[in-house]
Amino acid sequence: MSRKRVVVTGIGALTPIGNNTQEYWEGLISGRNGAGPITKFDPTLFNTKFACEVKNFDPLKYVEKKELRRMDPFTHYSLATAAMAMEDSKLDLSKINLERAGVIYGSGIGGMTTWEEEHTAYMNGGAKRVSPFFVPKMIADIAAGQISIKYGLKGPNYATTSACATSSHAIADAFILIQRGSAEIIVTGGAEAAITPMAIAGFNAARALSIWNDRMMEASRPFDKDRNGFVMGEGSGTIVLEELEHALKRGAKIYGEVIGIGLTGDAYHVTAPPPGGEGAVRSMRECLRDAGVEPIVVDYINAHGTSTELNDLNETIAIKTVFGDHAKKLAISSTKSMTGHLLGAAGAVEAIATLLAIEHSIIPPTINHIEAEPELDLNYTPRVAAKREINYAISNTFGFGGHNASLLFKKFVG
């Protein structure tokens, strides 16, 4: 069976540095910093008092008022970027086979806000105080379901949950299903709204978050020698994937082509990467093998780059292992330096950054990268965006539990 080609025909982004795709891209190339004091709850007693929150977002632009209270914020975010991506794709739903159009959409945590609110209601008033909408608001698959319902998409419909790799896995699954002919169009991506007391407390307990409260604008500093933990972010990213011939037939704009995926497991530790980033090495190698290309063709890597000591070191070692001498010629950057870490939404939001970098021939910077260590000696595009022709680019995401995903995008020509 010949494999069908898969292209990106619509994108939508809601991030701490921009509430739509254009604002997000402008924020990336200008080095906008999304960090600020936490406003969603009182963080006085928490070790970390800042995060990268979505700002001035009005869900009523995307969700009917009567439905608003029946959805968790992560679903509001997903519906917002799905609307952006669908509008961007210019799909005419009356002219496509809705049974061949699906939704694969993930969240690493799901309705954390809902869980905390309903648990408080239960503790204060007993079982009768729990909302009948508790379960359908909280479950991580509900964003996929709501997008499907809104647009009448009756093809494959499910959620992925693999921590930070969640939405990259969603994109990978969508790619596979279109490639094998099971669907022609899939709306895919991920959303996260986990800046909540329990999430911050939990990541603080794990010593994963930066506690630079007096230097919050400098705290997310991937690949820098003073990196000391990630900064929590929130938001969503949605991509419309489409079978190439279907897209060409309707004259769709094509942002780029997905040509390879690499999915591996560390089988090592629940939070730490294995020495040398062994799982990341296999993920990138499998991505290249799947695409049928040599490492030397890759121009840019949007790194996982969390600003944690072990991730940044081991991802760098992994890149050197896979790319050899070519590693020094690669442009690399971590957009988490600006957006923070969007957890389950990171893969989709960073895939969008990668596609826009290809389209505009600009590498987003790694802000706050001031001084490297001897082992971290690659080109991380420090502080300022750089012009560069990009024909092939990889987006890496690696999650707690040892979940690794690498997506390879190619500039579409012809």
User: pLDDT tens digits, residue range 123-147?
Assistant: 999 999 999 999 999 999 999 999 9
The proportion of the chain whose per-residue pLDDT surpasses 90, expressed as a percent, equals 99
Residue 370 has pLDDT above 90, yes or no: yes
* Angle, CA of 331, 311 and 171, to the nearest 5°: 70
Mean pLDDT throughout 343-365? Answer: 98
pLDDT at residue 1, rounded to an integer: 63
Q: In what side-by-side order are the strands of the sheet with 157-158?
A: 157-158, 101-106, 185-192, 235-243, 6-14, 256-265, 403-410, 392-399, 300-302, 331-333
- In 38-118 the beta strands, taken as DSSP E runs, fall at 50-51, 101-106
Taking a C-beta distance cutoff of 8 angstroms, is the pair 340, 16 a contact?
A: yes
User: Rounded to whole angstroms, what are the CA distances from 252 to 22, 37, 184, 238?
Assistant: 19, 41, 13, 17
Mean pLDDT throughout 88-105? Answer: 98
Mean pLDDT throughout 348-367? Answer: 98
State the Cα–Cα distance between residues 100 and 4, nearest whole angstrom.
14
pLDDT at residue 388, rounded to an integer: 97
Cite the DSSP H helix spans in 94-253.
112-125, 134-138, 142-151, 166-179, 197-205, 244-249
Residue 27 has pLDDT above 70, yes or no: yes
Mean pLDDT throughout 189-197? Answer: 98
Mean pLDDT of the chain: 97
341 as an active site residue: the answer is yes
Percentages (nearest 5) of helix, strand, coil residues in the chain: 40, 20, 40
Mean pLDDT throughout 81-108? Answer: 98
Phi, psi (deg, nearest 5) at residue 371: -140, 130
* Angle, CA of 364, 368 and 373, to the nearest 5°: 105
Which domains does the chain show, CATH number per domain?
A: 6-249 (3.40.47.10), 261-410 (3.40.47.10)
Q: Read off the pLDDT of residues 224-255 as tens digits, 9 standing for 90 and up.
A: 999 999 999 999 999 999 999 999 999 999 99
Exactly one of 76, 246, 304, 369 is catalytic; name it: 304
Local structure of 337: helix, strand or coil: helix
**What is the enclosing helix (H) or strand (E) of 185?**
strand 185-192
164 as an active site residue: the answer is yes
Exactly one of 164, 169, 287, 403 is catalytic; name it: 164
Q: Is 120 exposed, middle or buried (0-12, 13-18, 19+ CB in 10 A)?
A: exposed
Local structure of 332: helix, strand or coil: strand
Q: Read off the pLDDT of residues 116-125 as tens digits, 9 standing for 90 and up.
A: 999 999 999 9
Taking a C-beta distance cutoff of 8 angstroms, is the pair 137, 92 a contact?
A: no
Exactly one of 169, 246, 341, 403 is catalytic; name it: 341
Taking a C-beta distance cutoff of 8 angstroms, is the pair 404, 165 a contact?
A: yes
pLDDT at residue 414, rounded to an integer: 78
What amino acid is encoded at 133 in this protein? Answer: F
Entry pTM:
0.98
Mean pLDDT throughout 345-364? Answer: 98
State the Cα–Cα distance between residues 14 and 236, nearest whole angstrom.
5
76 as an active site residue: the answer is no
Q: Read off the pLDDT of residues 205-225 as tens digits, 9 standing for 90 and up.
A: 999 999 999 999 999 999 999
| Residue 107 region by backbone torsions, left for phi larger than 0, else alpha for psi between -120 and 50, else beta | beta
